[in-house]
Structure 1
């Protein structure tokens, strides 16, 4: 048994079943003598509803997801090659395939509007970023994904070769202005993405600690109730012991008096 095998089992479960199953897997690894694996399992985070929806897509609809990820790979390649025709075609296909896959995620039910938006953001991240695509394909997501860089987008057809050449100075000024605008846009996008990630991480941490609190409160209540029952039994036992002690003292006294009368 290794961590990937355990993660495959755990992240196939609904979030409501994850924590108890994770604790059972960690105990099993510890009982088997693999303390390191037990610690690694305990570190696996409970998935959000949206992350579980994407994990389920990877398991139940691998072909549809593979089609989307293939579009993403080809889209990134077209962007690298600055192929305007391919980008235009793939961008349209991307919208169609993303919509289809998103509907498959929602069809299972249990997704709020906010969770549905997180699913869409995760799928978009998988299209434009190879690392995100790998994470989605594995089906081990604990939280939704966001992309903070530039997303491939259609570029104007008819590059400068089909247009009248501008002067070198004008072209340079245009490129400089475009680069500055792009840098500013990237900075704003990165800031927004960072804040979104921090917010999601904080929400995920709060959910996990809230769940741990509920477990601790339930366990404390059960043990307190057990102690109360034991204390009630102990009080009754002490009373019976006191009654027995009293009878013992009376019996000893009467036996002693009877023996004294016998000895006269």
Structure 2
């Protein structure tokens, strides 16, 4: 048993069952003597409802999801090549396939309007960003994804040095390339900050939920202990009364036996 195997099982269960399932998996790993794996399992974060809905798509509708991610891959390549005809065709195809996959995510039910919006944002991120696509394909999201850029993420492939030629606008192509790279880097930083903020907020929500649950359990157990202590106090009092009666009875029995002699 390894972490990937356990994570695959855990992120397939509904969010409401995740915490208990994670605790059971961590306990099993610890009982098997793998303390490190147990700790790593305990660190796996509970998925939001929207993240779980996307994970479910990866498991239950892999073909439809693969179609969407394939469109995204071709769209990014077309954008990189600035192929206007392909971009127009793929943009239309993207709308159709995204709508189909989003409907599949909603069919299982249990999604609020906010969660459904997060599913849409995650699917959009998977279309325009290859890294997001890989995360969605793996089916182990803990949080929804988002992409803040105005265009698909650049394809990371070796490119030749830009020539110092001038385009139709008269601008230096190298200067344009540099400006575009700076804009993409700026967008990546902003997206990273947004993801960090989302992750921090999600982590706080999860721990707040856990705190509420543990507090409720503590209060229930404390009240049960208090009831048992009250019962124990009454039982001790009755035991003391019976002990005193036993002493009196023994004494009287002894006196009666002495009179017989």
TM-score for the superposition, normalised by structure 2: 0.82
| Structure 2: runs of 5+ lacking an equivalent | 154-164
In the alignment, the residues of structure 2 paired with residue 209 and residue 251 of structure 1 have an alpha-carbon distance, to the nearest angstrom, of 61
In the alignment, the residues of structure 1 paired with residue 124 and residue 167 of structure 2 have an alpha-carbon distance, to the nearest angstrom, of 38
- After TM superposition, the structure 1 stretch with the greater mean CA deviation from structure 2, 204-213 or 249-258, is 249-258
Residue 239 of structure 1 corresponds to 237
In the alignment, the residues of structure 1 paired with residue 260 and residue 88 of structure 2 have an alpha-carbon distance, to the nearest angstrom, of 120
TM-fit CA distance, 1:130:
1.4
In the alignment, the residues of structure 2 paired with residue 96 and residue 110 of structure 1 have an alpha-carbon distance, to the nearest angstrom, of 23
Q: Relative to 1, partners in 2 of residues 1:169 and 1:146: Cα closer, same or farther, differing over 3 Å?
A: closer
In the alignment, the residues of structure 1 paired with residue 205 and residue 132 of structure 2 have an alpha-carbon distance, to the nearest angstrom, of 23
Residue 152 of structure 1 corresponds to 152
- After TM superposition, the structure 1 stretch with the greater mean CA deviation from structure 2, 221-230 or 86-95, is 221-230
Q: In terms of Rg, which structure is larger?
A: 1
TM-fit CA distance, 1:96:
1.5
1:150–1:186: 8 Å Cα contact kept in structure 2?
no
Q: Relative to 1, partners in 2 of residues 1:21 and 1:73: Cα closer, same or farther, differing over 3 Å?
A: same
Q: What root-mean-square deviation, in Å, do the aligned CA atoms of Structure 1 and Structure 2 show?
A: 2.9
In the alignment, the residues of structure 1 paired with residue 119 and residue 183 of structure 2 have an alpha-carbon distance, to the nearest angstrom, of 27
Q: Relative to 1, partners in 2 of residues 1:51 and 1:170: Cα closer, same or farther, differing over 3 Å?
A: closer
2:194 pairs with 1:203: no
Can you list the C-alpha shifts for 1:153-184, whole angstroms capped at 9, x where unaligned?
9xxxxxxxxxxxx9889612798589658856
TM-score for the superposition, normalised by structure 1: 0.82
What secondary structure is seen at the aligned counterpart in 2 of 1:227? Answer: helix
Residue 170 of structure 2 corresponds to 171
Can you list the C-alpha shifts for 1:27-75, whole angstroms capped at 9, x where unaligned?
1111111111111111111111110111111111111100011111111
Which of 220, 223, 232 pairs up with 1:222?
A: 220
